[in-house]
Every structure is written in structure tokens, then in C-alpha cells.
Amino acid sequence: MAAFVKDITTQSGYLVITFDSGPPKQFPIADVLRAADIPALTYSQVASIKALANLIVILVRTLVDREVLDESFLEDGDIDLDDIVEAIENMGGDYGDPDLTGSEE
């Protein structure tokens, strides 16, 4: 009897296929991916990500200063300003001194 696919999901490193009977089967993604399938970031793109993070800094700081936003975010305040600052710094931005030039220091 033929097995029919009910669902296809992903799990870290795997495609998980659920059939109409039996347990789901995991298929490793690494076996089918090639380096050519994964786009590489260029040096200019990294600088652009940093500039975008700093642009977000300017927007958030301006909106907080104008009292459009307070220091809590999302509907229930699940994210606060410290979380935003951490995410910005992880992208190379600087909440205290945002730089939009894209140049390296």
C-alpha cells in the first residue's frame, strides 16, 4: 500500500516528513545543500546591516524622545528597550552613538 505525505516541516538540520501511517521520518538537509545554495554576505552588505541597525536606533530614540513610544515594546511589554539595544548591538549597531556612514572605525 502506498504511503501518502500528510505534512512536511523543518527541524534544525532536517526536513521532517509525516506520512499517513507510521512515525515521521527525518531527512538531513546537509546531504542536499551545497555551499552554492547558501548566499554569502559581502563586505558591503555587512556594513549595510550595521547602518540599518543604527537607523533603527535613530528611529527608536526619536520616538521615545517624542513620547510616541515608551521603553516597553509588544502588546504586553514582553520586550523592553534593553532587549532592543542588545539586538542592535548584535547587528553591529551602537545605541549610544549611531553611525550611518557605513564606514569601519
Q: The pTM is what?
A: 0.55
78-89 per-position pLDDT tens digit? 788 888 889 889
pLDDT at 68: 84
9-35 per-position pLDDT tens digit? 888 888 899 998 889 999 888 777 777
Alpha-carbon span 25 to 11, nearest angstrom: 11
Predicted confidence (pLDDT) at residue 58 exceeds the cutoff of 80: yes
Angstrom CA distances, 67 to 60, 64, 83, stand at 10, 5, 19
Residues in CB range of 29: below 8 A, 6 or more apart = 10, 13, 14, 15
Radius of gyration, CA atoms only, the chain: 22
**Of 73 and 92, more confident:** 92
Q: What is the DSSP letter of 44?
A: H
